[in-house]
Amino acid sequence: MKKLTINEIAEKAGVSKTTVSFYLNGKTNKMSEETMERIRKIIEETGYEPNAAARAMKSRPGGTIGVILGDVSQPLAAKALKGIEEEACQAGYQVIVGSSGMLFAREQEYIENMSRLGVSGYIIQATYRFGILGMELEKKNKNLVYLDVSPYDSRGKCVKSGNYSSVYEAITQCVQKGYQQFIMISDGSQDDYGGVGNAQGFKDALRTAGLSFKTYYINQGATEEDISDYLKRQIDLSQKTLIYVSDASALAIVYLALKRFPDYQSLIPSPIGLIGFDLTGWTKTTTPAISSIVIPAYQEGRIAAQKLLEMIDGKGDSKEVVLKNMIRWRESTL
């Protein structure tokens, strides 16, 4: 007789894959005799043997999930990973992690390797091109949750922060606070968490208000002096000017560039205001403290793991989950 997979055993026994995994690993203290007997008979009849690669992994009772992030050393990805690991651990799952560098070729390689290890599902901070591979996985009914950005043509579940709406709200409030000139500073990245929404929320808020704006893209290797010189040329101190930094990695260098202005503390929050994304909390320690938009990365990770585990157990849906960012108004804005 054909040997079944763990999914097929679960289906025949009328239980979840997690329940079968617990049985195979001897975690049956909360399992009824009837359930154990059904699973035992199916395994005995089919001669089922656990996947050798999975055994070598010494996985936890629930199995393993694969997580592919752009760069796990970055604060946002690290916080999301912490949330994923804590949620997975509570459910008895082990996490296999890879850093893709936001390169499609590395995403492909990780998917192939993780598939050979028998992972139960994937959480992926995907590149735009991943949609090609994502559609193949979806056709094979592979469990897949995207973190923060869905690639094109994807029908998979996505858990993300509301970057667009939070930026739109923050810039709209800055218009109401009386700022007249607006400058967006960006490193040009569109692959990091919510990169497109970060810029589009700014532009749409000002277009709605009927106001113009300037955009400055930081070149690789640009110094504080370079940015400071640009801002001195662009800012009319007779008008209130808001500087919005769309990339968390660039906010610190923009702040240091402003510190090069003579008597900069007297210029902030009027006529110069500053707001941007903060991933670690450093903006509350500066002088003056900087208004910031905070992404709930840890919660994103936990919810992404929750949704994936629901899918593994045959539950849940494909609806997108959008978490609300927090806007921290501080001394750098009116």
pTM confidence score = 0.77
Residue 50 scores a pLDDT above 50: yes
Q: What is the phi/psi pair of residue 185, to 5°?
A: -115, 130
Confidence of residue 128 (pLDDT cuts 50, 70, 90): confident
Sheet strands (E) in the chain: 63-69, 93-99, 122-124, 144-147, 157-161, 181-186, 214-217, 241-245, 272-277, 291-294, 321-323, 326-328
Give the pLDDT band of residue 25 (cuts 50, 70, 90).
low
The per-residue pLDDT for 26 is 63
Band (60; pLDDT cuts 50, 70, 90)? very low
Residue 194 has pLDDT above 70, yes or no: no
For residue 72 the two structure tokens come to 């796990």
Closest CA to 159 of 99, 248, 87: 87
What is d(CA 168, CA 201) in angstroms, rounded to the nearest whole number? 4
Burial of residue 280, with CB atoms counted within 10 A of its CB: 0-12 exposed, 13-18 middle, 19 or more buried: exposed
| Percent of the chain residues topping a pLDDT of 90 | 63
Rounded Cα gap, residues 179 and 334, in angstroms: 9
Average pLDDT over residues 187-210: 80
Alpha carbons 119 and 281: distance in angstroms, whole number:
35
CA pair distance 311, 121, nearest whole angstrom: 9
Distance CA(141)–CA(175), nearest Å, equals 47
For the record, the structure tokens of 78 come out as 């690290």
